[in-house]
């Protein structure tokens, strides 16, 4: 009788291989589970049908995730539906994942009348925007125009401050102050008869001269005046005329603009000297003409022999002129430095 053979060594080897195979299988499952997104493992939802490669082999499968590309699945589904549609077998009640297609809410569909209302609203909004833009443009233009006007006024004011005030004198010899001696008197208060001054001066003086006022003015406030026999032709120059030395003769005002001074046509010179400061210089020994007393002018007498009294006439002239120009400047009719 043959001895009984036992298979314990073979059984042991086989069970070792089975255990090793099971461990490798469990390890593979764990590794496959670790590659799933954490959120998917937490919720435990099933993969979409598109993630399972059940369509044609043209769909590329990601070897790391084992999932198909959504774009490829969609293209494959559209091609399949197109092929089926040729034979009337296409299904329009399923999407590329085999589920129901997205339903459109009836409330989200805008009826034609609502579209017209919305178009009207959009048109009204565009009109409001256009109106606001025009208003803003109008305000900007007004501000720019006001800024330019202010700059022009400032430029004109500076120009006027640099221009000299004008003192008009008579071109004849009827006034004791004329182009021969008026500059010395108004600058320094020294009076000389014009014939004496003519003998001292070499040559005939010009009809227009410039003088510097020093009375009641410091060194930095000295003002230059223009003394002239010539009647201004420009209306802007008439704005600079501050004083007129009258002779008592009406012909002196022949070239004065009648449209600028009221009553000049009617020989009403009293209204003329409400705009211009008039002075009548005479010798204290001579009478004042009756016509001059009817005009609105300041009469200043000069002693024929006593020269120490000249300074009083000099001060009286500038004091009255300053008072007249201060009132005129307060009204805004005179904007020049005096």
- Over residues 69-111, the pLDDT tens digits come to 677 777 777 777 666 665 555 555 555 555 555 555 555 555 6
Terminal-to-terminal C-alpha distance of the chain: 159
Please tell me the predicted confidence (pLDDT) of residue 45. Answer: 46
Measured in whole angstroms, how far is the alpha carbon of residue 130 from the centre of its chain?
Answer: 21
Please tell me the predicted confidence (pLDDT) of residue 315. Answer: 93
Mean pLDDT by 10 residues, the chain (338 residues): 48 65 77 56 46 50 69 73 62 57 57 76 90 92 90 74 83 87 91 87 83 80 87 87 90 86 81 90 91 90 91 93 90 81
Distances (CA, A) of 266 to 231, 240, 259, 263: 20, 24, 12, 5
Please tell me the predicted confidence (pLDDT) of residue 59. Answer: 60
Please tell me the predicted confidence (pLDDT) of residue 34. Answer: 58
CA atoms in the 13 A half-sphere facing the CB of 50: 16
Please tell me the predicted confidence (pLDDT) of residue 50. Answer: 41
Please tell me the predicted confidence (pLDDT) of residue 130. Answer: 92
Residues 269, 295: contact at Cβ < 8 Å?
A: yes
Please tell me the predicted confidence (pLDDT) of residue 55. Answer: 45
Please tell me the predicted confidence (pLDDT) of residue 77. Answer: 72
Strands (E), 229-309: 241-245, 277-283, 297-302
Please tell me the predicted confidence (pLDDT) of residue 335. Answer: 78
Query: CA-CA distance, 300 to 182, in Å (whole number)?
Result: 14
Give Rg (Cα) of the chain.
56
| Sign for the pseudo-dihedral over CA of 287, 290, 293, 298 | negative
């Amino acid at each position: 009788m043959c001895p009984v053979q036992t298979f314990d060594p073979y059984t042991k080897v086989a069970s070792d291989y089975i255990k090793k195979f099971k461990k490798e299988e469990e390890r593979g499952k764990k590794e496959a589970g670790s590659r799933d997104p954490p959120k998917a493992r937490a919720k435990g939802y099933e993969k979409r049908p598109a993630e399972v490669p059940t369509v044609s082999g043209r769909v590329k499968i990601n070897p790391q995730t084992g999932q198909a590309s959504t774009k490829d699945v969609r293209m494959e589904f559209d091609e399949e539906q197109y092929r089926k549609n040729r034979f009337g077998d296409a299904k329009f009640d399923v999407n590329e994942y085999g589920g129901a297609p997205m339903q459109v809410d009836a409330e989200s569909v805008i009826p034609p009348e609502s579209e017209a209302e919305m178009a009207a609203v959009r048109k009204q909004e565009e009109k409001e925007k256009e109106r606001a833009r025009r208003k803003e443009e109008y305000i900007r233009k007004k501000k720019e125009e006001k800024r330019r006007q202010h700059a022009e006024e400032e430029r004109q004011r500076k120009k006027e401050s640099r221009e000299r005030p004008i003192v008009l004198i008579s071109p004849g010899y009827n006034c004791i102050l004329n182009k021969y001696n008026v500059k010395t008197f108004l600058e320094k208060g020294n009076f000389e008869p014009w014939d004496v001054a003519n003998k001292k001066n070499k040559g005939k003086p010009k009809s227009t001269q410039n003088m510097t006022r020093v009375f009641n003015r410091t060194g930095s406030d000295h003002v230059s005046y223009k003394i002239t026999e010539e009647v201004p032709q420009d209306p802007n120059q008439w704005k600079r005329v501050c004083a007129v030395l009258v002779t008592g003769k009406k012909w002196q005002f022949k070239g004065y603009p009648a449209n600028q001074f009221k009553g000049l046509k009617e020989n009403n010179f009293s209204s003329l000297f409400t705009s211009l400061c008039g002075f009548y210089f005479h010798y204290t020994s001579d009478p004042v003409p009756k016509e001059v007393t009817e005009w609105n002018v300041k009469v200043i007498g000069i002693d024929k022999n006593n020269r120490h009294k000249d300074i009083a006439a000099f001060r009286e002239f500038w004091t009255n002129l300053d008072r007249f120009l201060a009132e005129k400047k307060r009204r805004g009719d005179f904007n020049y430095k005096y």
